[in-house]
Amino acid sequence: MTAQRFTNVITKESELRGIFGEVSERAAKKQIERLDVHCRAIIEKCPFILLGTSDAEGRCDVSPKGDYPGFIRVLDDKTIAIPDLPGNNRLDTLRNMVKNPHVGLIFMIPGMNDTLRINGKVQLVRDDELLESMAFEGKFPKLAIVVHVQEVFTHCPKAFVRSKLWSDEYRIDRSELPSFGEILRDHAGLDFDLEEFQKGYDERLLETLH
């Protein structure tokens, strides 16, 4: 238990409403329970999502998933399928899903400030026909994350407008921050040749995208 260091802490929904007021009718009614034509269009053009999960004890994880636009399949107006592409085999997200199937997703498209959000329950599926339909240049995903849609809504663009995410204004020169290899070495307390590791890592990255 984290030591209490704050004196004015919100613990009830009624306290939140006292600060922020009631939700508007428009905001309340934007939530739907299926994928309409607009949701399908966004998913078809989306190359990147954030996938939120938690385990049975409530420990959370958010994992980025990305590929070519349309890599996520709409199976029907209540179901989508996400190919699970090669990673580092920690399986944080997948292990969470086995313990707790509830997930939340945010769909992001470069140049578009509003986002699509979906909440639902997942199954981890290995049906041959589905995996074959998600193959890339003959390479099949090991499994598909099938999401049974429960809630769908669009999210306002304020965070993207404030952060100017798609503009060049806050874009950095990558050399301003440590390389992935340097961060990994320091986080894990490892000892390796940084230049050699980064070169090998960059090569492996391109070879194992699918």
Asked whether the predicted pLDDT for residue 2 surpasses 70, the reply is: no
Asked whether the predicted pLDDT for residue 24 surpasses 70, the reply is: yes
Q: How confident is the model at residue 4 (pLDDT cuts 50, 70, 90)?
A: confident
CA–CA separation, 85 and 67 (whole Å): 9
For CATH 2.30.110.10, list the domain ranges present in the chain. 26-163
Compute and round to an integer the Cα radius of gyration of the chain. Answer: 20
Ramachandran quadrant class, 48 (left: phi over 0; alpha: psi -120 to 50; beta: rest):
beta
Per-residue model confidence (pLDDT) at position 3: 64
CB-CB contact of 81 with 65 (8 Å): no
Q: Give the pLDDT confidence of 58-86 residue by residue, as tens digits.
A: 999 999 999 999 999 999 999 999 999 99
pTM summary value? 0.93
Q: Give the pLDDT confidence of 89-137 residue by residue, as tens digits.
A: 999 999 999 999 999 999 999 999 999 999 999 999 999 999 999 999 9
Query: Counting Cβ atoms within 10 Å, is residue 191 exposed (0-12), middle (13-18) or buried (19+)?
Result: exposed
Per-residue model confidence (pLDDT) at position 63: 97
CA–CA separation, 210 and 208 (whole Å): 5
CA–CA separation, 23 and 17 (whole Å): 9
Closest CA to 65 of 76, 79, 52, 80: 52
Query: How is domain 26-163 classified at the architecture level of CATH?
Result: Roll (2.30)
Q: Give the pLDDT confidence of 136-163 residue by residue, as tens digits.
A: 999 999 999 999 999 999 999 999 999 9
CA–CA separation, 167 and 162 (whole Å): 11
Cα dist. 194→49, 175, 182, 202 in Å?
30, 14, 7, 12
Asked whether the predicted pLDDT for residue 1 surpasses 60, the reply is: no
Mind giving me the DSSP string for 43-79?
A: HHH--EEEEEEE-TT--EEEEEEE-STT-SEEEETTE
Q: Give the pLDDT confidence of 37-56 residue by residue, as tens digits.
A: 999 999 999 999 999 999 99
Asked whether the predicted pLDDT for residue 26 surpasses 70, the reply is: yes
